[in-house]
A and B are shown apart, each in its own frame.
Chain A
Amino acid sequence: MARVGEATSSVGLPDALARARMRASMVPDLLVEARRVANNVIAGWHGRRKRGIGENFWQFRPYVEGEAIARIDWRRSARDDQLYVRDREWEASHTIWLWADASPSMLYKSASAAVAKDSRALVLALALAELLSRSGERIAWPGLTDPFVSRHGAERLAAQLAQAKAPPARPDLGAVRRFSDVVLVSDFLDPVEDTVAWLEPLAQRGARAHLIEVADPAEEVFPYSGRTEFRDPETGARLTAGRAEALGEEYRRLYLARRAELSAWCKRLGWSLTVNHTDRLASEALVKVHQAMSEDAGYRAGTRA
């Protein structure tokens, strides 16, 4: 029986140089793909056509009782008997932290998947970087860069990544400030309590996180059968199942329960959790995340700005 999944690179992390080189060589390709994906998305997204804090006039609208009087545009109001408020287009630049998990557990690709999980995660992160930097947002990579604005944010991020040392399994999110968005691309296979404990400070600081769970179909479907020895790429632990097919149902239940729990937690905080399977297109997740971010941005612009 053919193997269901394989590790996409050596598990031995010590050889950081080789790994960095490998990743560096991968980045340009990813960059190109990320551009391609971002182009797909941006085609349906014209600017930030929202009122908000900005320079440019957006619209006049009738004054509503309770609004700040300072916002009344008297010049316009003087022309008739109605009070008007001048809305400006939202142009406030936003800081968005991007992070893609590069832990060994991401280095996995099953037979039915198109790409490895870490590859997909990086592509999503860079594509978001491309999208956001094109629209003038400040992007950052926790533990790697400070927030910056650049027309070529993705390239810069990629260059930084290529030169980076082996990153820690979980980056320090202490630099994330209030009102920042955080996009975390990982497989979130750790116990939910660990993940929650890691992300709880973010919520406390008022940052918003968008979780993208990159899942391999093999992990979700569990197509194993027969006598199978399973090996954890992260810890190297081994488990041998006498008849793997007998475990499938229970496993799937637990797997999905984990996701459901995480998703429920995110929803409670107003965060989003997007699942992207590596046998599906990256742009699907990209569109979803982007929607989640922009809708939310509009909401916040309307109330808090």
Chain B
Amino acid sequence: MNALALSFAQPLVLWGLVALPVIWWLLRLTPPRPQTEVFPPLRILARVLKTEETPHQSPWWLTLLRLAIAALVILALADPVLNPRERLAAEGRALALVVDNGWASAPDWDRRAATAERLIADARDGGVPVVLAMTAEPANAEIGPFGADAALERLNAAAPQPVPTDRPGTYARVADALADLPGAAIAVLADGLAAEGDEAAFETLFAAGAARVLWFSPDGLSTAVVTAAENRPEAFRVSAVRAPGDAAPRRLAVFASDDKGRRIAEAALAFGPGETSAFADMAVPFELRNDFAAVALEGERHAGGLHVLDENARRRRVGLLSPVEADQAQPLLSPLYYIRRALAPYADLVEPSRLEATEAIPELIERGPAIIVMADVGTLPEAARERLVEWVRGGGTLVRFAGPRLAVAENDPELLPVRLRLGERSLGGTLSWTEPQPVTEFPPAGPFADLAPPRDVTVRRQVLAEPSAEIVERTWANLADGTPLVTGAQRGDGMVVLFHVTPEATWSNLPISGSFVEMLRRVVQLSRNQGRIDAAADGGTGTLAPYRMIGADGTLVPPPPQAEPLPAAGPRAVTLANPPGLYGSEAGVVAHNLFGAKATLAPLARPDTALPVTDASYAFDQSRDLKGPLLAASLGLLALDALAVLWLGGLFAGLRRRPGAARTAAAPALALVLAAGLWPADPAAAQDARPDQQPDDQAVIEAISETRIGYVLTGDSAIDSVSRAGIAGLSRFLAQKTAFEPGEPAGVDIDSDELAFYPLIYWPMAPDAAMPSEAAIARVDAYMRQGGTVLFDTRDQFSGGFRDGGAVSPGTQRLRDILSGLNVPALEPVPDDHVLTKAFYILSEFPGRYRGSPLWVEAALDAESRADRPVRTGDGVSPIMITGNDLAGAWAIDSDGGALLPTVPADPLQRVYAFRAGVNIMMYMLTGNYKSDQVHVPVLLERLGQ
């Protein structure tokens, strides 16, 4: 490698550069040939041209460009190589590559692979076979010797594995392979971490008759791995170690993610100078910690940087044990009621199916709870007690509550934190001078130290501890008089906690206070998970299926094909068959991590050997052949030159100013294109300008600015004019008699007009007119369903002949035809107590021009009709009314206000009643069932008066 990191394979070609001055001279002499033009007004032109220097030679920059092209070509022909790599020449009979592809090699695997590739390339140049072995490979993997190409292929197929290396096994196989190839060069591409059996492995390898050793090790070993994740009461603690070679202080971010990979907590983890282990506490709420599925070190992209968590780090399982069966009818008196309520949000609660302690305790312990809560259990059968003691010593937390039974039971030093006096102490009873005692500050040494003591808790009864030397340190909570309320003590790995009161609110009101919840939670946090995934979860086979594996890059991946089930019991090693990750199923998983809590990392020292050893470091092959880029650059310059020549020749200017026809032809074409491009945009732009304007907005605004009564334009002009006059008459009557002043009658074309603006639409049947279209009937149907009402009028009360059921008038027939297309509810004639009869006037019938036809309305099926109420109650307004009395005929007035049509019979009062019917109908439309409430007013007033 020379100073410029540039070397030439054919340096002699560089002599060609000497020719550059000649090329320059030649180039200067031959300017581009001008275009010759006859030009009669030359004398005029000559006056212009005097000012311009006529170039007889190429412009200097063009010459320079061409010289550059020539120089580039010459340089390219000399085969320049940037950063030429040194050859780790593989002289000898063979090259043996042993590559560590364990978890530690993942972050810079590319470099390792590039280094190996370089070595293989050298071997190809040397024509020697290659033995290629990976240390994290199945033992039956082929290792060669290969040809260089096959080795390269194998190398490309290899990938880092999330498992530790197996140097002894691999090296033994390499040694076997090298037995036939004495004098080989061995290249050890180590990951820099020591593993078990390294010494023997290297001894085996170097004893295989190799000629020399190439030793590759990473430059710096900055790997850090997570060794443990612990759910402590106050925080979630993540421990990590790093290789001791790295002495500089280092800060890492550690984060926890949930089962969907979302990052939910973060902390900083700092290695002090020279420290190899560190921990970080994530002070996050307990509830959040239960969601942790994995903790990982930021930036550590290898399998050791990710630590998966299973149930052990999560919710505790709490076994509940009660001496008496709970009375289902009185749950508040169950001893476990408040404990259940307090713990259920934070823990899994399990209860034995049997009541007998001999069965219940083993059953509970079988299910692996972290805590067993015993409510007032005095004595236990010996066998059960043995199991319990064993469980506590093994790490279980036993929480006991006092009670009448415990008060009289024998002392049990194993299962009670303190010695108890026989009998309980009563405070503030009828025959006692003492007052019920409150709780004081929690002792600072105890686990409740940072909890706020409950102010409102008083204790009336308790069991008392015998005074002893250790009672102070075992006391977790005190009463005001100094007697312990909660005591706790270590028993082996486990813990025994005693609440000196009952778990129900009989002895104190502690169980119904918020502090109780906090205290129990704290105890739960202190406890250790004993639970293991049930063997039965995997069908009882004793193995756990791979569920989610840790990939070599430190991410969770689906299980690879070679992953095998993990034995549920027994030692578990991280191997290729059992890569780290989660085993089990969705129901429950077991974490299988690369590192245990006590793991350390040690750097790999180069073993002593008699063979010549060359140290090297991993590096990418950075040599770059510059021939291609140089040629490409010269081609680019050539293209530039061509452009420049064209420019000098005036091509582009000619394209700019083409005289005459071309321009005039192009202009309209361009205009056309522009217009075509702009035209579709115009309507859109116009729409944008007025986004809300619709053509019939004005009509809509008019329709809704006052309430109008609609009538259907039937197409029969006689009927339509009567309808209009009728509605106008009704409107006038309404304006006179009520506060409602309707607008102009609105003729509605049900085919096209918007119906929703009108509270009521009067629809006289016109048998001679055309039948409304299906779409129109559908619109009416929608109108009725949206709350509108249609008043159908067959106007045939007396034209139908005798109502014997046989003869049907054309109007009624038309109504039937129309109604067959509508969703008509069940109908009934207006009952006597219907709100229509009382909406404004009290009416008993609804006459029009004719009299006698009932007014049909929707049957109020759920309406309540009570004898003591004058009106039936019920919600809603009938969407349909049918009459045959020709209401509009009776209402119709001419321009002078006189009646248009006579009533039949000609009774002036009938017209008045017709108007009243109309008023009632309109009031019913506008106020709904409001009147059915108003009719109670007298009754209400009467009641108030009394």
Enumerate B8-37 residues with CB–CB distance to A below 8 Å: 31-37
Checking A108, A229, A239 against B46 with a beta-carbon cut-off of 8 angstroms, the contacting residue is: A239
Q: Does A78 contact B (CB under 8 A)?
A: no
Is the pair B37, A225 in contact by a Cβ cutoff of 8 Å? no
- A107 and B445 CA atoms in complex are apart in Å by 121
Are B45 and A191 in touch, CB under 8 angstroms? no
A241/B47 in contact, CB under 8 A: no
A298 within 8 A of B: no
B34 touches A240 (CB 8 A): yes
**Mask: chain A, 212-256; 1 = CB below 8 Å from B; 0 = not:** 000011010101111111111111010111111111001100110
> Which of B162-170, B549-557, B650-658 forms contacts with chain A?
B650-658
* Interface-lining segment among A1-9, A33-41, A90-98, A176-184: A1-9
Of B45, B46, B651, most A-chain CB atoms within 10 Å: B45
Alpha-carbon distance A106/B38, docked complex (angstroms) = 11
A245 to B657, CA, bound (A): 9
**Could you tell me if B55 and A242 are in contact, using CB atoms closer than 8 angstroms?**
yes
Q: Roughly how many angstroms separate A187 CA and B43 CA in the complex, as a whole number?
A: 13
User: Considering the chains assembled together, what is the distance between the CA atoms of A117 and B40 in angstroms?
Assistant: 11
Are A112 and B35 in contact, CB atoms less than 8 angstroms apart?
no
Inter-chain CA distance A175–B221, complex, in Å, is 115
Check B328 for interface membership: any CB of A closer than 8 A: no
Q: Which residue of A lies closest to B646 (CB)?
A: A226
A273 vs B698: C-alpha distance in the bound complex, in angstroms? 70
B410-436 interface bits toward A, Cβ cutoff 8 Å, 1 = contact, 0 = none: 000000000000000000000000000
Interface residue? A105 (CB, 8 A): yes
**Among A190, A217, A226, A250, which residue has the most Cβ atoms of chain B within 10 A?**
A226
Chain B contacts of A106 at CB under 8 A?
A: 40
In the complex, A144 has a CB within 8 A of chain B: no
B41 touches A1 (CB 8 A): no
Q: Contact between A230 and B39 (Cβ–Cβ < 8 Å)?
A: yes
Choose among B39, B47, B650 the residue that contacts A231 (Cβ–Cβ < 8 A). B39
| Pair A189/B34 contact, Cβ less than 8 Å | no
Closest Cβ neighbor of B652 among chain A residues: A225
CA distance A9 to B659 in the complex (A): 25
Chain B proximity mask over A1-45: 1 for CB below 8 Å, otherwise 0: 101111100000000000000000000000000000000000000
Closest residue of B by beta carbon distance from A8: B38
Knowing A247-B45, A251-B45, the reply to whether A231 touches B36 (Cβ < 8 A) is yes
| B44 contact set on A, CB distance < 8 A | 189, 251, 254-255, 258
Q: Is the CB of A219 within 8 A of B40?
A: yes
Q: Judging by beta carbons under 8 Å apart, are B34 and A191 in contact?
A: no
A5 (CB) vs chain B CBs: closest residue: B38
Q: Nearest chain-A residue to B56 (Cβ)?
A: A240
Q: A residues within 8 A CB of B639?
A: none
Q: On chain B, which size bracket covers the interface? A: 20 to 34
A228 x B34 contact (CB < 8 A): yes
Cβ–Cβ contact A241 & B54, under 8 A: yes
Instruction: With A242-B54, A251-B44 as known contacts, state yes or no: A226 contacts B654, CB within 8 Å.
Output: yes
Tell me the minimal C-beta distance from B48 to chain A in angstroms. 4
- Which B residues are in CB contact (< 8 Å) with A223? 657, 659
**Minimum distance in angstroms from B818 CB to a CB of chain A:** 81
Contact A245 B650 (CB under 8 A): yes
Does any Cβ of A come within 8 Å of B697's Cβ? no
A231, B35: Cα distance in complex, Å? 11
Contact partner, A247, options B38, B52, B56, B648, Cβ 8 Å: B52
A244 to B38 Cα, complex, angstroms = 13
Chain A residues near B55 (CB-CB < 8 A): 227, 240, 242
- The residue in chain B whose Cβ has the minimal distance to the Cβ of A239 is B49
- Distance of A176 Cα from B40 Cα, bound (Å): 29
For window 64-78 of chain B, which residues contact chain A by CB distance below 8 Å? none
Q: Is B898 an interface residue, CB under 8 A from the partner?
A: no
Contact of A226 among B45, B49, B648 (CB under 8 A): B648
Partner of B653 from A3, A225, A233, A239 at Cβ < 8 Å: A225
Q: Give the distance in Å from the alpha carbon of A7 to the alpha carbon of B37 in the complex.
A: 9
CA distance A190 to B39 in the complex (A): 13
Greatest chain A CB density within 10 A among B37, B52, B54, B651 is at B37
Q: Is B53 part of the contact surface with A, judged by Cβ < 8 Å?
A: yes
> In the complex, how many angstroms separate the beta carbon of B390 from the nearest chain A beta carbon?
105
Residues of A within 8 A of B657 (CB): 223, 225, 245
Residue from the list A5, A117, A242 in contact with B39, Cβ < 8 A: A5
* Residues from chain A with Cβ under 8 Å of B43 in the complex: 189-191, 232
Q: Is the CB of A227 within 8 A of B37?
A: no
Of listed A1, A189, A221, residue having the most chain B CB within 10 A: A1
A251 close to B32 (CB less than 8 A): no
**Are the C-beta atoms of B38 and A108 separated by less than 8 Å?**
yes
Residue among B37, B48, B51, B651 making CB contact with A228, cutoff 8 Å: B37
B42 within 8 A of partner (CB): yes
Does chain A have a CB within 8 A of B629?
Answer: no
Chain B residues, Cβ within 8 Å of A247:
45, 48-49, 52
Enumerate chain A residues within 8 angstroms of B56, measured Cβ to Cβ: 240
A112 to B45, CA, bound (A): 20
Are A255 and B34 neighbours in the complex by a CB distance under 8 Å?
Answer: no
Q: Contact check: which of A3, A221, A237, A243 meets B42 at CB < 8 Å? A: A237
A5 touches B37 (CB 8 A): yes
In the assembled complex, B805 has its CB within 8 A of some CB on chain A: no
A226-B35, A241-B49 given; A105·B54 CB < 8 A: no
- Give which listed residue, B40, B53, B654, contacts A242 with CB less than 8 A: B53
**Inter-chain contacts of B31 with A (CB < 8 A):** 227
CA distance A244 to B39 in the complex (A): 12
Residues from chain B with a CB closer than 8 A to the CB of A189 are 40-41, 43-44
B649 at interface, CB cutoff 8 A: yes
Do A112 and B40 contact each other (CB < 8 Å), given the known contacts A225-B654, A227-B649, A246-B52? no
Report yes or no: A226 in contact with B37, Cβ–Cβ below 8 A: no
Verify if B660 is at the interface (C-beta below 8 Å from A). Answer: yes
User: For B46, what are the chain A residues with a Cβ–Cβ distance below 8 Å?
Assistant: 237, 239
- Please measure, in the bound complex, the distance between the C-alpha atom of A251 and the C-alpha atom of B56, giving whole angstroms: 22
Which one of B48, B650, B660 contacts A225 once the chains associate, using CB atoms below 8 Å?
B650
A224 to B51, CA, bound (A): 18
With CB as the reference atom, state the residue of chain A lying closest to B38: A7
Nearest residue in A to B33 (C-beta to C-beta)?
A227
Q: Complex Cα distance A226/B46, Å? A: 17
User: Footprint of B on A, CB under 8 Å?
Assistant: 1, 3-7, 105-106, 108, 112, 117, 187, 189-191, 216-217, 219, 221, 223-235, 237, 239-247, 250-251, 254-255, 258
Add 12 more A-B contacts to A1-B650, A7-B38, A240-B55 (CB < 8 A): A105-B40, A189-B44, A191-B43, A219-B41, A227-B34, A230-B45, A232-B39, A233-B40, A237-B46, A240-B34, A241-B54, A250-B51
Ordered by A's residue number, 30 sampled pairs between the chains whose C-beta atoms are within 8 Å are A3-B35, A5-B39, A191-B43, A223-B657, A225-B653, A226-B650, A226-B651, A227-B31, A227-B649, A228-B37, A228-B650, A230-B39, A231-B38, A232-B43, A233-B40, A237-B46, A239-B42, A239-B49, A240-B34, A240-B55, A241-B49, A241-B54, A243-B653, A244-B650, A245-B653, A245-B657, A247-B45, A247-B48, A250-B48, A254-B48
